[in-house]
Structure 1
Amino acid sequence: MFERIIIADDETAHLEGMKTIVSQICPETEVLIAKNGLEALEILRQKPAELIMCDIRMPIMDGIELLRIASSEFPQTKFVMISAYKDFEYAQKAIEYQAVEYIVKPFRVSDLRETINKVARGREAEKAKDLLLSDYYRLSEVLQKQEDSKLLQSLLEGRLSEQERAKLRCADRLCNHGVVACLYWEAPGSRNADISYETLEALIGKINTKSILVYDAKPINEAILIIPNQSPDTIRHKLENFIVEIREDLKLELYAGISLNASCLLEKASEAYSQAYEALSYRFYYSQGRVLLYEKLCTSLELALPSLSRIEQQIRDAVHKCDSKAACNEIRRMKEQLMHDPPYYPGKVRNRVSSFVVSIINSFEGSVLYREFEDLQNSAYMKYSRCNSFDELFSISEELLLLCVHLKSHISKAQSTDLIDSCIAYIEQHLNEELSLKEIADRFHFNPNYLSALIKKRTGLSYSSYLLSLRMQKACSLLSKTNDRIKDISLRVGFSDCSYFNRVFRRENGISPQQYRRKYRRW
């Protein structure tokens, strides 16, 4: 209910009686007593209390003066005034200084209990209201920041309308020159690198208190700064110090891409953002955080990559010959060829290398089990999509090339006699079904073209020709050994149309099914 209550009264007997009663009503509350207002005020300053119950008329400092001073210093403390007089002037003064209750002596214990309980209920209601208001204001601030961030994102992407511009609270600050900085941070290994908005906002204040932070509401590892009235060099120096601090305090590596100086951020923010983003992409080449200036890197954007055709052909030959050592040596030589100062644009390097390796993987289509090909292809797409650095790009490429060599060396295993025998046995047992090439290939996890090639190698016939020969062999056997109707036989060998069966049978055997039965009948 209350942690501490102070009672002030100059009558000793009344004071001790009040203490006993209040202690009984609030057994877990510390009850302190004072013989005048000044003594009560000194106790309050040393041990803040939630409730003061004081007589009005006391020597040295009366209750009204105590209420006036204490309510100013301790606005959360509640006051109950006690008096033997029904004096309107006293009551008026008590209300003016926000006393919550006014009790006239003598009073009953039940009256005192009700008064204390009423004050307690009032405090709880105030707490709930304050908490609700606090949550409301906090939520309002979060929503406003999110709205600001969306408007700023639209500004950076060059799609901010005039109507939206009017809602932008920081528009006046953006009428000045300045820069845009794109930030990205990561943690060594697999440790989580997320930073909350509040933490990031506090950290950014160390770079420049006028910075405008554009940040997603979710904890992520990248952010954008719009910094008015600052040059790229000035921000570079601050960010370099900030990177060292982040590394030491949070164990994170921070990269920052900085645009050229924009003459008016409100008009040039989109262009500046593109510059900062492109500059940040060069973090691809570095393992430790650093500042990347667009001014220093823009000349390398149009640099053409060196010719890699000869190395690419040697890698293809090495894979074809199942020479893993040569394949690894050549991909490392390609890496050396692509090391350059200034560095090549990361997007070009990533696309060239990944496209080349994927093209080797794609060359296996139709030559290996379809499941193996699909797994390798999906693995390549997934690994390259997550690749974040130059070293990782070539580590992934070397790993995939070794898998290609391994796959090439085991192609013959995919042509296993047992597997083809099982496939053929299945076809023979299900001749009454449609048995499309794709259906059989899917069932045995083959690429359809690859399965057709294996069957032709085994039988000398294409899949369709081989299937037809099996159907005709079984039809001939049934015609000669059974008395079944020709219509039933046609269904058992996969022909739903008896007339069509008759035509195909005549074409393949030179005589009709009826003639074949009369000529070769064994019953």
Structure 2
Amino acid sequence: MNILIVDDEPRHLRGMAGMIQMMRPGAKVKTAKDGEAALALVREEQPDVVLSDIQMPKLDGLAFLQRLKEEELQTKVVMVSAYNLFEYAQRAIRHGAYDYLLKPVDMDKVEVLLQRLDRQLAEEERERGESAEMKQKLELASSAYRSRLLHQWLNGELSPGEPVDLEEWPLLAQMNTLVLTEIRTEGEAFPVQELVEQLKQRVSAYGEACVFPLQTVSQHSIRLVTVLKRESKPAEGIEELRSSLMRQTEIWRACGMVSHGIAALREEHRVKPAETYISSLYRQAEEALEYAFHEVWEGVVTFEPDAGLGNTSAVFQLDGEQLFEALQEQSFARAEAMCRDAFAELASQGRTEPKLMKNYASLTLMKLKSRTSGIIDQQVGSALADTASTAIPSCISSGMLMELMLGRLAEVHKSLTERKQGSGELAVEQCLNWIQGHYAEDLTLEMAAEQFHFNPSYFSTLMKSRTGRSFSDHLTEARMRAAKELLAGGRFKIYEIAEQCGYRDTKYFTRIFKRQVGLSPEAYKHTLRPQTGRGDRS
């Protein structure tokens, strides 16, 4: 309880303050020596209770009560006076006093008064809480109704001519540009109204605007819809709007990840009622927002029919075996570069569907898990599977996707590096390099074992345990890679390529190639024609 004591007699003031503080040790007690000082303290401190003398200089107790009433300052005033006259008490009550005490003050009576004040203040606090709760419920109900109407409008579910109880309806019916904004955060709740006002202030420079929040997409994200009525032609001013939204994104960076999708009405549709095109415009803004996944857009994507969003011709060229070989090198740099380059090419300047990017990322990690099974640490393999199935599908940006990919690849590289211990590991690595340089010869496991001073049986087991593949598998892989390169060059006939790859029997070479690649050498050459433009000399 906050209590203010007012009296022009210092002795009475100290005595009353000391008594109240003793009776209510937890109370906050302040004093004033006249009505004017008391009025100033009430304005500043807003005490729960004021115990005031009546006869005081400058502003007496009754005039003090009148001023409180005029200024609508809510506090409970108890008049304290030495005048035991009904007239004084009646005037004090009529001016709004809560009670009337006589001097000298009786401690028991003060205790009864304080208990009554305690009960009443507690009851008023409870009523205020109920009132605030009811107000909040009404606001939520109103907000839910408004949000439902806006959802129906955006999805084209309102009947033509249906009356809509929204103050923004005149603008909604004439809008020609829509911006869908999404904010994601792992932190505290969103200051929704503040965000709405800031966004409205920014976009109003480009036309008449209104901004409203949609229902929360998830616990940690919110969407705002901005509706604009721009007077300029659709293509004009969009780039300026995009640049402005990029600046707002930087300001909001502390709130979390921010992205925007912009859709503008085409000129030929401007003569039609808004309800005939709004659902299409909303879907376009949603699609543009989806592609903000690609960081090349810097968080703001404009839907354009000819922009090429949804590129389906992108090619993913990260060879799993070559990636595995790069991960076995002493440095992680080549594996990282391969991964970055492959996904940059797949992204096609931010025009490839984000879902396709995620699918290829998950597939790459699952293939790597299979390829390294029994070779790397089991926990590293489990992390590959978990990332592929859970973390990657929930990525919200290309940067996050690449960070996850490189993180897992770095763990695989570390695990492979740690396994390269002792002469056996070194011999296996040297043998793989030896195969690359001699695959055209009639190589055998026995020749390799002799080359590196091992027993053939032990060397076969060592290679299998360290790489997951046999000597024969590695030799075939090296020969097939060379064969594909020669076929792509288009300079040699099939039997010549077979000989250069270590096969003396062309039919056997053809059978092995088809088993490994899925196509015969001849068919494989034909698939390369559109890319190489070379003729067939076989």
Structure 1: which amino acid aligns with 2:357?
Answer: R
Match of 2:445 in 1: none
Matched, 1:23 2:23: no
Please give the per-residue CA displacement for 1:355-393, whole angstroms capped at 9, x wherever unaligned: 8648967998xx99xx99x96666533354134444665
The answer to whether the 8 Å contact 1:357/1:400 transfers is no
Question: Alignment partner of 1:87: what SS?
Answer: helix
* Coordinate RMSD, CA, aligned: 5.3
Residues 52-451 of structure 1: matches in 2 within 5 Å? 52-56=50-54, 61-73=59-71, 75-81=73-79, 82=81, 83-87=83-87, 91=90, 94-103=92-101, 108-142=106-140, 144-146=142-144, 148-159=146-157, 166=164, 170-185=168-183, 193-194=186-187, 196-198=189-191, 200-209=192-201, 210-216=210-216, 219-230=219-230, 232=238, 235-247=241-253, 250=254, 252-261=256-265, 268-286=277-295, 289-295=298-304, 298-301=306-309, 303-306=311-314, 311=317, 315=319, 334-335=342-343, 337-338=345-346, 340=348, 343-347=350-354, 349-350=356-357, 353-354=360-361, 357=364, 379-390=387-398
Q: How many Å separate the matches in 1 of 2:246 and 2:49?
A: 54
Q: How many Å separate the matches in 1 of 2:290 and 2:224?
A: 14
Please give the per-residue CA displacement for 1:130-165, whole angstroms capped at 9, x wherever unaligned: 244334434543554455445534544445689998
Structure 2: which amino acid aligns with 1:118?
Answer: R
CA 1:101–1:357 in 2, change beyond 3 Å: closer, same or farther?
Answer: same
Match of 1:508 in 2: none
**Identity percentage of aligned residues:** 18
The answer to whether the 8 Å contact 1:354/1:397 transfers is yes
Structure 1: which amino acid aligns with 2:264?
Answer: L
Q: How many Å separate the matches in 2 of 1:304 and 1:224?
A: 30
Q: How many Å separate the matches in 2 of 1:25 and 1:323?
A: 79
Question: Alignment partner of 2:86: what SS?
Answer: coil
Please give the per-residue CA displacement for 1:275-309, whole angstroms capped at 9, x wherever unaligned: 122212223331684322113x752136441566x
Q: How many Å separate the matches in 1 of 2:38 and 2:364?
A: 84
Deviation of 1:177 (Å):
0.5
Question: Alignment partner of 1:211: what SS?
Answer: strand
CA 1:234–1:225 in 2, change beyond 3 Å: closer, same or farther?
Answer: farther
Question: Alignment partner of 1:236: what SS?
Answer: helix
Q: How many Å separate the matches in 1 of 2:12 and 2:364?
A: 92
Structure 2: state its 5+ residue gaps.
202-209, 231-236, 417-460, 469-538
The answer to whether the 8 Å contact 1:182/1:224 transfers is yes
CA 1:338–1:58 in 2, change beyond 3 Å: closer, same or farther?
Answer: closer
CA 1:233–1:85 in 2, change beyond 3 Å: closer, same or farther?
Answer: farther
Match of 1:464 in 2: none
Q: How many Å separate the matches in 2 of 1:400 and 1:344?
A: 25
Q: How many Å separate the matches in 2 of 1:114 and 1:269?
A: 68
Match of 1:434 in 2: none
Question: Alignment partner of 2:291: what SS?
Answer: helix
Q: How many Å separate the matches in 2 of 1:348 and 1:49?
A: 61
Q: How many Å separate the matches in 2 of 1:317 and 1:109?
A: 92
CA 1:4–1:267 in 2, change beyond 3 Å: closer, same or farther?
Answer: farther
Q: How many Å separate the matches in 1 of 2:13 and 2:195?
A: 54
Structure 1: state its 5+ residue gaps.
187-191, 417-523
Structure 2: which amino acid aligns with 1:229?
Answer: K
The answer to whether the 8 Å contact 1:6/1:40 transfers is yes
Deviation of 1:68 (Å):
0.7
Match of 1:7 in 2: 7
Q: How many Å separate the matches in 2 of 1:195 and 1:100?
A: 44
The answer to whether the 8 Å contact 1:4/1:32 transfers is yes
Deviation of 1:242 (Å):
1.1
Please give the per-residue CA displacement for 1:57-110, whole angstroms capped at 9, x wherever unaligned: 66764433221112333623221234532239x72x544542212456787553
Structure 1: which amino acid aligns with 2:189?
Answer: S
Match of 2:432 in 1: none
Q: How many Å separate the matches in 2 of 1:183 and 1:225?
A: 6
Q: How many Å separate the matches in 2 of 1:44 and 1:397?
A: 63
The answer to whether the 8 Å contact 1:51/1:77 transfers is yes
The answer to whether the 8 Å contact 1:332/1:394 transfers is yes
Question: Alignment partner of 2:313: what SS?
Answer: coil
Structure 1: which amino acid aligns with 2:247?
Answer: N
Deviation of 1:202 (Å):
1.3
Deviation of 1:172 (Å):
5.0
Structure 2: which amino acid aligns with 1:290?
Answer: G
Match of 2:528 in 1: none
Q: How many Å separate the matches in 2 of 1:355 and 1:33?
A: 74
Q: TM-score, normalised by structure 2?
A: 0.55
Structure 2: which amino acid aligns with 1:216?
Answer: T
Structure 2: which amino acid aligns with 1:293?
Answer: T
The answer to whether the 8 Å contact 1:319/1:401 transfers is no
Q: Which moved more, 1:109-118 or 1:332-341?
A: 332-341
The answer to whether the 8 Å contact 2:261/2:285 transfers is yes
Structure 2: which amino acid aligns with 1:245?
Answer: I
Structure 2: which amino acid aligns with 1:73?
Answer: E
CA 1:211–1:393 in 2, change beyond 3 Å: closer, same or farther?
Answer: closer
Structure 2: which amino acid aligns with 1:259?
Answer: A
Question: Alignment partner of 2:199: what SS?
Answer: coil
CA 1:146–1:72 in 2, change beyond 3 Å: closer, same or farther?
Answer: same
Question: Alignment partner of 2:77: what SS?
Answer: strand
Match of 1:451 in 2: none
CA 1:94–1:175 in 2, change beyond 3 Å: closer, same or farther?
Answer: farther
Q: How many Å separate the matches in 2 of 1:273 and 1:361?
A: 40
CA 1:25–1:239 in 2, change beyond 3 Å: closer, same or farther?
Answer: same
The answer to whether the 8 Å contact 1:156/1:273 transfers is yes
Structure 2: which amino acid aligns with 1:380?
Answer: A
Q: How many Å separate the matches in 1 of 2:180 and 2:105?
A: 71
Q: How many Å separate the matches in 1 of 2:296 and 2:462?
A: 37
Question: Alignment partner of 1:205: what SS?
Answer: helix
Deviation of 1:19 (Å):
5.5
